[in-house]
């Protein structure tokens, strides 16, 4: 992300932008970038130069768009679970997958808090970013975010999603122990990223599992742990949950979140109403049915319709609901950006 883009993003989140011009931003990572740039997913994850070139191609092909978090070094859903010892699968051209490590809920009693400086794939993430940072700076970009999956998301991979959701009802004490260990680990992981790169002034977490539970369960098993993680000082505190947010979103301002990337289940107007307008929104064109599968003209019409529903000062960064999905063509992104300029 360039200095100009970072300043623009911070002003949008703070509500201090003087211009009424629309701004576009997209979360991009391995579900979209490899195919779009013409490489396999495994090559993208395995080779520093392939990964770097794909990210550089995106920022140079679409200089008007702000890509979040920007040069994201990740191994799909395997990044954080690998530190706990999860067996990770890396097919040539399918998404990575982390297998559960707990056979029964009692195994949580033996969970060990990982060291992000040495465990799993995390040191490789830092090494990749250290290698890339001077190359990024040569192109006018800097790292702006510490990044991770959220605590409920990681717990669901360590246990299995169904097993974790059942256990918050049948064995809540053990689930609090597990979430506590994960949260301490994530605090250290984000701190390590900030220490390694002085340009970081944002935090980004992704946790769709908060969308699978009701409000009371969110208040018990989501809110306190997310609040602890977002307590860190940062100008932009981005949260991604493209599952439903009706049960949780009104609590996001209390957590400290100031930029939210929702799914398509709720409208931007509803989110603004439920949060008192306290959240900037990154969204919310349908990602698969419009941005990936529609024609460029249909993408343009969807953007026009969204623009009609929003006031100029609505603190919205135009995007798709959730991250950039697989299969989005260059022409559809160009149509999206061109329509914002109208």
Cα→Cα distances 243→81, 93, 116, 261, 308, Å? 21, 25, 28, 10, 25
d(CA 328, CA 38): 13
Tell whether the torsion through CA atoms of 21, 8, 270 and 298 is positive or negative: positive
Number of domains in the chain: 1
Radius of gyration of the chain (CA): 19
Residue 110 sits in a domain whose CATH number is 3.20.20.210
> What is the span of the domain harbouring residue 192?
3-340
Determine the pLDDT at residue 17: 85
pLDDT in tens, the chain (342 residues): 999 999 999 999 999 987 778 899 999 999 999 999 999 999 999 999 999 999 999 999 999 999 999 999 999 999 999 999 999 999 999 999 999 999 999 999 999 999 999 999 999 999 999 999 999 999 999 999 999 999 999 999 999 999 999 999 999 999 999 999 999 999 999 999 999 999 999 999 999 999 999 999 999 999 999 999 999 999 999 999 999 999 999 999 999 999 999 999 999 999 999 999 999 999 899 999 999 999 999 999 999 999 888 866 679 999 999 999 999 999 999 999 999 998
Q: In terms of C-beta density within 10 A (0-12 exposed, 13-18 middle, 19 or more buried), how is residue 112 classed?
A: exposed
Question: Per-residue pLDDT tens for 11-29?
Answer: 999 999 877 788 999 999 9
Question: Cα–Cα distance between 45 and 52 in angstroms, integer?
Answer: 10
Residues facing 26 on adjacent strands: 67
Q: Which pair of tokens denotes residue 334?
A: 């160009």
pLDDT of residue 67: 98
For residue 27, list its beta bridge partners.
Answer: 68
Burial grade of 311 (CB within 10 A; 0-12, 13-18, 19 or more): exposed
Rounded Cα distance, 1 and 320, in Å? 19
Please tell me the pTM assigned to this model: 0.96
């Amino acid at each position: 992300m360039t200095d100009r883009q970072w300043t623009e993003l911070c002003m949008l989140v703070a509500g201090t932008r003087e211009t009424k011009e629309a701004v576009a931003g997209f979360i991009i990572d391995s579900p979209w970038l490899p195919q779009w740039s013409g490489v396999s997913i495994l090559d993208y994850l395995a080779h520093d130069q392939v990964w770097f070139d794909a990210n550089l191609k995106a920022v140079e092909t679409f200089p008007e768009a702000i890509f979040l978090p920007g040069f994201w070094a990740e191994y799909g859903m395997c990044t954080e679970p690998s530190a706990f010892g999860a067996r990770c699968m890396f097919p040539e051209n399918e998404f990575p997958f982390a297998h559960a490590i707990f056979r029964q809920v009692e195994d949580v009693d033996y969970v060990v808090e990982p060291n992000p400086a040495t465990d799993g794939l995390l040191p490789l993430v830092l090494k990749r970013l250290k290698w890339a940072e001077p190359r990024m700076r040569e192109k006018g970009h800097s790292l702006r975010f510490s990044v991770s999956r959220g605590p409920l998301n990681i717990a669901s991979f360590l246990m299995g999603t169904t097993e974790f959701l059942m256990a918050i009802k049948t064995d809540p004490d053990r689930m609090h122990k597990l979430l506590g260990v994960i949260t301490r680990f994530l605090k250290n992981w984000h701190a390590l990223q900030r220490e390694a790169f002085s340009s970081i002034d944002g935090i980004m977490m992704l946790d769709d599992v908060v969308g699978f539970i009701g409000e009371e369960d969110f208040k018990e098993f989501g809110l306190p742990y997310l609040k602890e993680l977002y307590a860190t000082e940062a100008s932009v505190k981005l949260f991604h949950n493209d599952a439903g947010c009706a049960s949780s979103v009104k609590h996001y301002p209390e957590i400290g979140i100031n930029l939210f990337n929702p799914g398509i289940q709720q409208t931007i107007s509803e989110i603004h109403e439920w949060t008192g307008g306290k959240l900037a929104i990154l969204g919310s064109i349908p990602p698969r049915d419009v941005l990936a599968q529609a024609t460029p003209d249909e993408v343009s019409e969807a953007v026009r319709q969204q623009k009609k529903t929003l006031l100029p000062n609505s603190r919205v960064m135009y995007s798709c609901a959730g991250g950039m999905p697989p299969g989005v063509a260059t022409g559809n992104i160009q149509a999206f950006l061109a329509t914002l300029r109208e």
